[in-house]
Amino acid sequence: MPKLHPIIHAAGAERQHPDWAVMTEARRRHTRRVGRLLWEWSRTLGHDRMRRIRWRAAGLLHDALKDESPETLGLEVEDAGAWPGSLLHGPACANRLRAAGVEDELLLTAIAFHTTGHADFGALGQALYMADFLEPGRRTLSRERAEQRRRMPSDWHAVLGEVATAKIVNLLRRGIPISPATAGFWRAVTAPAGTIR
């Protein structure tokens, strides 16, 4: 794996958010909990230190622009009209990182689509998608989420399916259309289990 970009290294090794992050203190704590889960799962999977740093960085960075206004974020996302305002923070953050020189496409895809899922997710994208949902600060379904965290990463594919199901059912209950990215992700998740990349 090539040397980590300074922003990725600062986030993953030093737990520092970039100076351009727009986040409440509660959101910063959320991203740290997500990063901690990703670090633990990566360590359990036997990843080397650089990969663990990269995974934790994805957790710290995924919501770095969550508290920025959708109008401002829309200016940073080429196809902003295809995204609901509440989801623009992912692609805007990925674009900001790309503009800063980050070339790690698997990490950028993970951040851009951490809410919706994406058929092209590698293990990092899948892990971020799950960790964002399962982190221990979430109060809804806390017992179920704790049980799913306990099963990770050994029961990866099953937990991924359960998280995707819960998120899609929530969208359907709220009458929110399923995005093409989520539909493609669902097809990938329900395909026969493959190898974690």
Q: Which of 148, 155, 145 is nearest to 196 (CA)?
A: 155
Contact assessment for residue 129 and residue 165, using Cβ atoms and an 8 Å cutoff: no
Q: What one-letter code names the amino acid at 43?
A: R
pLDDT at position 141, please? 84
- Average pLDDT of the residues in 87-107: 95
Q: Is the pLDDT of residue 54 over 90?
A: yes
Q: Please compute the mean of the pLDDT values over residues 153-178 and round it to a whole number.
A: 94
Reduced to 3 states (helix: H, G, I; strand: E, B; else coil), residue 16 is: coil
Give the least confident one: 81-85, 87-91, 117-121, 131-135: 81-85
Buried b (16+ CB within 10 A) or exposed e, 51-84: bbbbbbbbbbbbbbbbebebeebeebbeebeebe
What pTM value is reported for the model? Answer: 0.94
Instruction: Name the one residue in this structure whose structure tokens are 């964002």.
Output: 132
pLDDT of residue 197: 47
Residue 1 has pLDDT above 70, yes or no: no
Share of the chain above pLDDT 70, in %: 96
128: CB partners within 8 A, 6+ apart:
34, 38, 58, 59, 62, 110, 111, 114
* Predicted confidence band of residue 195 (pLDDT cuts 50, 70, 90): very low
Please say if the pLDDT value at position 193 is more than 70.
no
Radius of gyration of the chain (CA): 16
Q: Where are the domains of the chain?
A: 6-190
Contacting residues for 5 by C-beta, under 8 A, at least 6 apart: 97, 100, 101, 102, 103, 104
pLDDT of residue 47: 97
26-33 CB contacts, 8 Å cutoff, 24+ apart: 27/63, 27/66, 27/67, 29/137, 30/63, 30/135, 30/137, 31/59, 31/60, 31/61, 31/62, 31/63, 31/64, 32/59, 32/60, 33/59, 33/135, 33/136, 33/137
Q: Kindly tell me if the per-residue pLDDT of 81 is higher than 80.
A: no
Within 13 A of 71's CA, how many CA atoms are on the CB side? Answer: 0
- Residue pair 118/160 in contact by the 8 Å Cβ criterion: no
Q: Cα separation of 167 and 133, whole Å?
A: 9
Q: So what CATH class is 6-190?
A: mainly alpha
What is the rounded CA–CA span in Å between residue 80 and residue 76?
8
pLDDT at 79 over 90: no
Q: What is the pLDDT of residues 111-158, one digit of tens each?
A: 999 999 999 999 999 999 999 999 999 988 889 999 999 999 999 999
Name the token pair of 58.
């994805």
Q: Which two tokens stand for residue 68?
A: 């920025």
